[in-house]
Amino acid sequence: MPSSTAATQLLRTRISKICVAIIGTTAAEMIEKATAVVRETPFLEFRLDYLEKPANALPKLKQFLGDNTAATAIATCRREANGGKFTGSLAAEMEVLSKAAAAGFQLVDLELESAEALKKGELQKLRDTGVALIISHHDFSSTKDLDKVYERIAPFQPDFYKIVPTAKTLSDNVTLMRFMERMHEKANIIGICMGDAGIISRVLGLRAGSAFTFAAATQGEETGPGQIAARTLIETYRIDQVDAATKVYGVAGNPIRSSLSPIMMNTAFRRETVNAVYLALQTAKVSDLINLVREIPIQGLSVTMPHKQEIMAHLEKTDPLSAKIGACNTVLRAQDGKLYGFNTDVAGIVGPLEKRMSLRGARVLVLGAGGAARAAVFGLRDKGADVFIFNRTPETAQKLARQSGSKTVKKEAFAKTTFDVVINATPVGMAGQKTSSVLDVKDLNTKLVFDLVYNPLETPLIRLARQQGIPFITGVEMFVQQGARQFEIWTGKPAPEEEMLRVVLHSLRQQAEAAAAAAPPSAATEKPASPRRKAAASR
């Protein structure tokens, strides 16, 4: 039988919305990490399966729990067959969990497959220790019939049902959240979708009825695919404040993992006291995105590669600029539920250039022919610039040139042609991209370089421009400008541009420092530009 309802309710008053997963190869390492987070987030899961000999660590963990009586702790010793690291037998797993209960852990997490393999009466011995029981099921491949998973767990009558599928699409999050909405009054459900597409469930799952969610202690210590650091959940997503009235926005693209839009936009919402949350929406299909928009519902979208052109077919109406360009980067859901499109990329590109030069008659080379390139080309042509387009697929460049009244140019002509501005509107140089540079030194015959890639802060093209003494604009300036216009379209409030710029620069510097620290000494062949110098260039 499960623990009494009164005991479970008492336990629920102790647990917070976020349970922080603690990992380590030794008890001392686990305690060090737990000590760093326990005051801010006192609900902890100790992944005992990360230890070589979990049972030997329990006396020290018992001492930690005795010293931190406000902490509530889950003991997990997941076997390898079920996605964990424990190589012992089922009997050994049960022994570890029983000893953990005796050591002061208030909850134990037992995977469904282990529970189903136990002999009659063995589970009751664990219950007799007075510990609360979580029965968990993880599907590392997909999101299937969640009601069937529930039906498998139900005979064990646990205190908490933990159901964790993998989101292959955004719509899988909807499947999980609809399930939790139906079931949370019937049982204590913990529901999370793993994977890059599952971030929605990690932030909005509580609103749908999940008893709590899991977080990593720090970035890089994730215990499941797509898990988010506790501080990010609290500070960026303000998960404690997400409620039924919270409006949902997001950035849709593929890939989307390295996007800084969530930290920039959530910072803007917090600064202007807007009850909204902004999520990263990883999807390969626009139809999947549109389904999510209607089901959640989502109030607004930032649309990035590769969906800026395809999204147009799903909009009720667009502004004249988006219609002319044939690409949209901003979607607003109106009160009637219909979707309207805008293009703020143009303002993000033309604005920074006009601060530095007159565009009428300027010779501008645009690299690329996708959504961002189209915004650059049409925006520049509207200002009277003479635009030249280069794309690795010549036919696409030629089509854009015909539509905009521009010209195409071959790469071999770069060295013999002078430009006022070179704009990189391709993903080359973006974090995670293998291609190092789109241009060689001999190709850079220009007075100004503008790289629309904002992450990393110093792209290969920006580094090349700096080495040649050519003035440059980093993608951060464009990124913040277009984001500020999106914020204003969605909220009707002036955007806190300085704060948005500050948080983006801070994040990029942190990433650069982390990358530099991780690089071997031989890789540091060149001293990078100082953050102050780079920040000045970005403005």
Residue 191 host element (H or E): strand 189-191
- Measured CA to CA in angstroms, residue 400 lies from 214, 304, 420, 425, 499 at distances of 47, 19, 21, 14, 36
Cβ-based neighbours of 427, under 8 Å, separated by 6 or more: 305, 433, 453
**Rounded-to-10 torsion of CA 123, 124, 129, 135:** 40
The amino acid that residue 22 corresponds to is: I
Helix 54-67, helix 27-37: angle, nearest 10: 30
* Residue 308 designated active-site: yes
In this structure, what is the dihedral angle of CA atoms 449, 455, 458, 464, given to the nearest 10 degrees? -50
Taking the C-alpha atoms of residue 27 and residue 446, their distance in angstroms, rounded to an integer, is: 59
Q: Is 87 exposed, middle or buried (0-12, 13-18, 19+ CB in 10 A)?
A: exposed
Q: What share of the chain is helix, strand, coil (3-state, %, to 5)?
A: 45, 20, 35
Structure tokens at 53: 């000999």
- Is the distance from CB of 161 to CB of 189 less than 8 angstroms? yes
For 57, counting Cβ atoms within 10 Å of its Cβ (0-12 exposed, 13-18 middle, 19+ buried), the class is: buried
The one catalytic residue in 17, 99, 308, 383 is: 308
Check if the beta carbon of residue 223 is closer than 8 Å to that of residue 229: no
| Tokens (6 digits) for 179 | 């399930």
First CA to last CA across the chain, in angstroms? Answer: 64
Q: How far is the CA of 431 from the CAs of 218, 393, 427, 473, 512, in angstroms?
A: 21, 23, 9, 18, 11
Residues catalogued as catalytic: 308
